[in-house]
Each structure stands twice: as structure tokens, then as C-alpha cells.
């Protein structure tokens, strides 16, 4: 489970961090988590209690995450991730390439 907290940060730092997050298709929350974990050096055992983070990192399937969280379905999982500002897992590069190629083929034949 994630905890909401308030941080007092310089406006210029927050603005630059938001821009960086947008450019890298992530969130400010994800950046903070990533940096704190790198400083504290979390291991997989530490993440065992954090199914949403594990799902975001591709360490759990959506079915495993739904079961671990005790929630109803994928829609509820998506809402929880949105509420916590946690990014969805990225597809592997080869899957993204395959989907792009499929789209190009469909588009060129329409």
C-alpha cells in the first residue's frame, strides 16, 4: 500500500521534474519512488508487500496483482494505479514494434 505524503520542494525543481517525467512517459511519483529505492537499495523482498509497484515494474501479471490486492477486476486495478499515480508497465520493445507494424499495415490498407 502506498502512503500519501507532503514534500516541501523548490518550485523550479518540481517543474523540471514534471517536465522530465513527461518526456520519459512516467510520473513524478514514479521518479521519486525510483530515486528513493536506489538510495535505500530496496530488494525484491521489500517489494513483496507492494503488488501495485511490482505490477508497474512488470514483476507481477495483472491477474496476480488483482489477487494480491483482493480487488474485483482489471478496471479496479487501473483506477487504483491512477489514484496512486503509478505508471502502467511498459510493453517490451519488440511488442511495441510489432504493434506499430500492425498499425502501419492496417492504416496503409484502409
Q: What is the pLDDT of residue 39?
A: 73
In this predicted model, what pLDDT tens digit does every residue of 15-64 receive, in sequence order? 999 999 898 888 888 888 888 877 776 555 455 458 888 888 888 888 99
Average pLDDT, rounded, for the chain: 84
Q: What is the pLDDT of residue 46?
A: 52
Could you tell me which residues come within 8 angstroms of residue 17 by beta carbon, excluding any fewer than 6 positions away?
28, 31
CB 60 within 8 A of CB 89: no
Domain ranges of the chain: 11-108
pTM: 0.48
Amino acid at each position: 500500500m502506498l502512503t500519501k505524503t507532503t514534500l516541501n520542494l523548490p518550485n523550479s525543481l518540481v517543474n523540471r521534474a514534471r517536465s522530465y517525467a513527461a518526456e520519459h512517459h512516467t510520473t513524478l511519483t514514479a521518479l521519486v519512488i525510483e530515486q528513493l529505492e536506489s538510495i535505500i537499495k530496496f530488494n525484491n523482498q521489500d517489494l513483496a508487500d507492494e503488488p501495485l509497484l511490482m505490477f508497474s515494474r512488470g514483476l507481477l501479471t495483472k491477474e496476480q496483482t488483482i489477487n494480491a490486492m483482493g480487488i474485483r477486476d482489471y478496471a479496479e486495478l487501473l483506477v487504483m494505479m491512477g489514484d496512486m499515480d503509478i505508471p502502467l508497465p511498459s510493453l517490451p520493445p519488440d511488442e511495441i514494434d510489432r504493434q506499430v507494424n500492425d498499425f502501419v499495415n492496417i492504416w496503409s490498407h484502409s
